[in-house]
Amino acid sequence: MHRAPSASTCLPEEPGIDATRALGATRGHIRLQFLTESVALSTLGGLAGTVLGVLATLAYTAYQGWPPVIPPAAVAGGVAGTVLVADRAKEPVATWLRKHAGFEVVCRDGAGSFAQAITDAAPHVVQVADRCHLWHLLGEAAHREVLAHSACWAPLGPPIREGRRAQTTRERWQQVHDLRDQGVGLLECARRLNLALNTVKRYARHAEPDRLIRTPQYRPALVDPYREYLRKHRATDSAVLVTHLLTEIRELGYTGSANLLVRYITQGRVEADHATLSPRRTARLLLTDPARLKEEQAALREKLSAACPEMTALATQVSDFAALLTPAPGNPGRLNAWIARTRAADLPFLHSFATGLERDRAAVDAALTLPWHNGRTEGVVHKIKMLKRQTYGRAGFPLLRLRILLS
């Protein structure tokens, strides 16, 4: 079989495309949406720039005592120029592909505009969805599912703070569901409750209010190394004074303040199974290969997976999809079974991810069966981003260029 050269084009993601496809939009609808958005945004930008320019001109002429003269053609040209200059990202891609004939395979992300550009410029080209981007989109969906089921795994971490915010969340959930039970639409609910439409959708989506109450996200503290010591001491003597505990752990090397220790104990982080357990860390544990986890991390992952049926289903689906990312001839059939199991589970965010896969099914099937991917390109991009962030505010482009070349 002739091995054709591949164009591994690393194109930026468009996270809104999955939501648009999930609503049933066709390619024509998506093209019209992108065109309308680009024209509208460029027009607003042109108006804002023109207004600022006019105001700056008026202020300067008033300061100098000159009569202001602003030609109407200049104002109209400022707005029209931004609309004409605004260019959709698909046009350069289509132009480049037409100039570089001979490509048979193009690896891309899930952006609909780039897929359409490739189809228009080279219909014969095999489009392959990049496996790196597929895994990234799955990770985002898994993170949202973990957030939605915080009440399941929250007992494994610091206790949830029962305060005014939690009470407000429960009251708003009750108000939204009372209106929905009366047949009131989402938009009318938002108007009556004076809430954003997306907020009302989020409250209406959950069957229980506790799923909306987020777990506290604590950063690592200086008390963390002495947590087990404090836990044992408080288990034997629950009335021990904080001053005594402070003196003892300072002898062990504690360098923090007394206020930090008091706040740490008050938050319940001493008695909790884990001092810090955020939704992002929980999602990362579910997305990591268990064989690469430490013993305590693997044990925590097992507890998180068994927290509730939804978390169990999420962990299973993540592991099964990870196995599909190793190219094999039978993966398209396995993907069908994976999508069917996802639809049967109570995982709405994973449903949206599965809908995006079905919308771009030909490219996804190619990704799961062909060896082409953008993994190395994505690695280089992330490395450049890391080097750039390390020098924010401390160096310029020459040093960044040198570091990239030397690395």
pLDDT for 212-236, tens place per residue?
Answer: 656 566 677 788 888 878 878 777 7
By mean pLDDT, which of 100-104, 142-146, 349-353 is the weakest? 100-104
Same domain? For 283 and 321 the reply is yes
Domain span including residue 392: 375-406
Same domain? For 381 and 363 the reply is no
pLDDT for 93-130, tens place per residue?
Answer: 778 778 877 778 888 887 777 788 888 888 888 888 88
Average pLDDT over residues 266-281: 68
What local confidence, expressed as pLDDT, does residue 3 receive? 37
> Which of 153, 182, 212 finishes a domain?
212
Q: Is residue 344 in a domain?
A: yes
Percentage of residues of the chain with pLDDT beyond 90: 17
Domain total of the chain? 4
pLDDT for 311-322, tens place per residue?
Answer: 999 999 999 999
Same domain? For 14 and 122 the reply is yes
Of the candidates 318, 366, 308, 373, the residue with the CA atom closest to the CA atom of residue 342? 318
Question: Does residue 208 or residue 276 have the better pLDDT?
Answer: 208
Q: Is residue 262 in a domain?
A: no
Q: Is residue 291 in a domain?
A: yes
Same domain? For 10 and 115 the reply is yes
Same domain? For 357 and 400 the reply is no
Sign (positive or negative) of CA dihedral 43, 45, 50, 55: positive
Q: Is residue 241 in a domain?
A: no
Q: Is residue 342 in a domain?
A: yes
Residue 407, pLDDT > 80, answer no
Q: Show Cβ contacts of residue 201 under 8 Å, excluding neighbours closer than 6 positions.
A: 186
Same domain? For 106 and 19 the reply is yes
Same domain? For 74 and 27 the reply is yes
Residue 331, pLDDT > 90, answer yes
SS3 at position 395? coil
Q: Show Cβ contacts of residue 280 under 8 Å, excluding neighbours closer than 6 positions.
A: 143
**Contact status, residue 275 vs residue 221, Cβ threshold 8 Å:** yes
Same domain? For 360 and 397 the reply is no
What local confidence, expressed as pLDDT, does residue 332 receive? 93
**Contact status, residue 24 vs residue 388, Cβ threshold 8 Å:** no
**Contact status, residue 367 vs residue 128, Cβ threshold 8 Å:** yes
Q: What is the dihedral of CA 173, 175, 180, 185, to 10 degrees?
A: -100
Question: Does residue 39 or residue 402 have the better pLDDT?
Answer: 402
Same domain? For 99 and 53 the reply is yes
Average pLDDT over residues 277-288: 86
By mean pLDDT, which of 79-93, 97-111, 195-209, 378-392 is the weakest? 79-93
pLDDT for 162-199, tens place per residue?
Answer: 567 778 888 888 899 999 999 988 888 888 888 888 88
What local confidence, expressed as pLDDT, does residue 19 receive? 46
- The whole-model pTM stands at 0.59
Residue 13, pLDDT > 50, answer no
Of the candidates 58, 10, 47, 15, the residue with the CA atom closest to the CA atom of residue 385? 10
Strands 6-8 vs 105-108: parallel, antiparallel or unpaired: parallel
Distance CA 125, CA 146 (A): 38
What local confidence, expressed as pLDDT, does residue 33 receive? 65
Q: Is residue 155 in a domain?
A: no
5: alpha, beta or left, given left = phi > 0 and alpha = psi -120 to 50? beta
Same domain? For 105 and 168 the reply is no
CA atoms in the 13 A half-sphere facing the CB of 308: 17
> Which of 212, 234, 251 finishes a domain?
212
Same domain? For 11 and 124 the reply is yes
Question: Does residue 281 or residue 268 have the better pLDDT?
Answer: 281
Q: Is residue 253 in a domain?
A: no
Report the chain's mean pLDDT, rounded to a whole number: 78
Q: Is residue 258 in a domain?
A: no
Same domain? For 37 and 119 the reply is yes
What local confidence, expressed as pLDDT, does residue 350 receive? 93
